[in-house]
Amino acid sequence: MEILWFLLAMCMLAAVIGPIVMRRRGGIHQVAPGSPDAADPDAYGFARQEELDVRMPGPDQDLLDVLDVVQATQDWRAAAQLLAGTPKEGEVRWQRVQAFAGAASLELARRPGAGGAWLRAWRAESPKDAGGAAVHAEFLVQQAWRSSSAGTDDFRIILEEARSVCGQAALLAPGDPVPYIVELAVARGLGYTPEQFDQLWARIIDRAPAHMGAHIAALHYHCEKWHGSREDADRFATAAAARAPQGSLLAALPLFAVYEHLPEVNLVQGFYRGLSVTRAVEGAMFAVHAARPDDPMLAHVRHLLVMFLVRMERWSEAMHQLVHIDGHVGALPWTQSPDPAAEYAVHRALAVAGYEANGGSPATLSH
């Protein structure tokens, strides 16, 4: 089917977010005449845009329950208890630290000077709590990247404070890789030398050699727009994928490397069907198929796959990823947008319309 993306995009935008703005990662293509105007994500049981959770990539009911308690009562103790009971060696602790820090950051943005008071109380009342220190360090990192321009004095001051708090968190939890993973964002912002980065990376690998979240964070440092090159990033991702244990989602890391180097604005029709993109997508699809269903990083890979599969016009495969992740949008690539839920909703609507234009329906989509 010849696809003329513009008509479908305009059809979807009226129902989703209004005009599509060409963003950093490249605009959505144009869509075919004959694509069904009636294509409706609601028919598939997908969440409405306003219901999409921007805090997490996938469900974590314990975390959601605790976040509700903390934000309703402004009492940090439930958060401290949850992190104390979360194993240090897995991916879940890193995701929960990110979520708590993100919640505090969003509160502060909505209520300057008052939001996130529970995190300040946590650090003041229990300064030796390892979880509180890790959340504080991640909070500072997020504040630096969200509210300050890279390279400014304010940006560097916040990241220097984050580095100090990372050190405190590491001392409080010697076997925990999370403080060092948080410091990877500091390394990128402050311009660690390769030697400094290697020392930091060694501490992470000693504690969690197959940590997918750590590898994604390290990949940012290796990218051309920071301290490396496209070749450095590709080499890092390919090496990690090659030594990945069986069933590890590290096999999908090359897709994250491709994403990091997408052109600012893609005007080449066949770009997403090129060999390098296709290989990376196939590798990620294989990794998803081989991974444990309960792997906490599975949603991260599925979210990125959705963007690529939609832009490759592989509608059915995109839909099969969507049924696993819908409801949550706290992951790449959506979090790079000022409105993650809207960005996700556009891609989802395009997937639904393309799927139905090719004969698909709710009845033919297996869950």
pLDDT at 24: 34
Among candidates 362, 305, 366, which has minimal Cα distance to 334? Answer: 305
Which pLDDT score is estimated for 226? Answer: 62
Interval 307-321: pLDDT, tens: 999 999 999 999 999
Judged against a pLDDT cut of 80, whether residue 11 lies above it is answered with no
Q: What is the predicted pLDDT for the residue at 30?
A: 40
pLDDT higher than threshold 50 for residue 14: no
Mean pLDDT of the chain: 86
- Least confident among 156-165, 174-183, 224-233, 291-300: 224-233
pLDDT at residue 352, rounded to an integer: 95
Q: Please report, as a single letter, which amino acid is at residue 367.
A: H
- Indicate the length of the chain as a whole number: 367
Q: Which range is least confidently modeled, 70-84, 148-162, 221-235?
A: 221-235
**How remote is the C-alpha of 41 from its chain's centroid?**
22
> Would the pLDDT of 131 be above 90?
yes
Q: What is the pLDDT of residue 136?
A: 98
Q: How far apart are CA 101 and CA 93, in angstroms?
A: 12
For 18-27, 95-104, 167-176, 252-261, which range has the lowest pLDDT when averaged over its residues?
18-27
Report the distance separating Cα 90 and Cα 93, nearest Å.
6
Query: Where are the chain's structural domains?
Result: 1-54+247-367, 60-191
Predicted local confidence at residue 233, as pLDDT = 87
> Residue range 97-114: average pLDDT?
92
Residue 328's beta-bridge partner residues? 53
Question: Residue 364 has what pLDDT?
Answer: 86
pLDDT tens digits along 40-80: 788 899 999 999 998 889 999 999 999 999 999 999 999 99
Cβ–Cβ < 8 Å for 184, 236:
no
In SS3 terms, the chain reads as: CCCCHHHHHHHHHCCCCCCCCCCCCCCCCCCCCCCCCCCCHHHHCCCCHHHCECCCCCCCHHHHHHHHHHHHHCCCHHHHHHHHCCCCCCHHHHHHHHHHHHHHHHHHHHCCCCCCHHHHHHHHHCCCCHHHHHHHHHHHHHHHHHHCCCCCHHHHHHHHHHHHHHHHHHHHCCCCCHHHHHHHHHHHHHCCCHHHHHHHHHHHHHHCCCCHHHHHHHHHHHCCCCCCCHHHHHHHHHHHHHCCCCCCHHHHHHHHHHHHCCCCCCCCCCHHHCHHHHHHHHHHHHHHHHCCCCCCCHHHHHHHHHHHHHHCCCHHHHHHHHHHHCCECCCCCHHHCCCHHHHHHHHHHHHHHHHHHCCCCHHHCCC
Q: Is the pLDDT of residue 3 over 70?
A: no
Instruction: Judge contact between 63 and 102, C-beta under 8 A.
Output: no
Decide which of 16 and 212 is more confident.
212
pLDDT in tens, 166-193: 999 999 999 999 999 999 999 999 999 9
What pLDDT does residue 12 have? 42
Q: At 138, phi and psi to the nearest 5? A: -65, -35
Give whole-number Cα distances, 314 to 185, 281, 317, in Å.
33, 11, 6
- Residue 17: what pLDDT? 36
pLDDT band of residue 26 (cuts 50, 70, 90) is: very low
Q: What is the pLDDT of residue 13?
A: 41
Q: What is the pLDDT of residue 69?
A: 96
Q: How far apart are alpha carbons 186 and 163 in whole angstroms? A: 6
- Rounded CA gap, 11 and 31, in Å? 10
> For 116-137, what is the mean pLDDT?
97
Residue 325 has pLDDT above 50, yes or no: yes
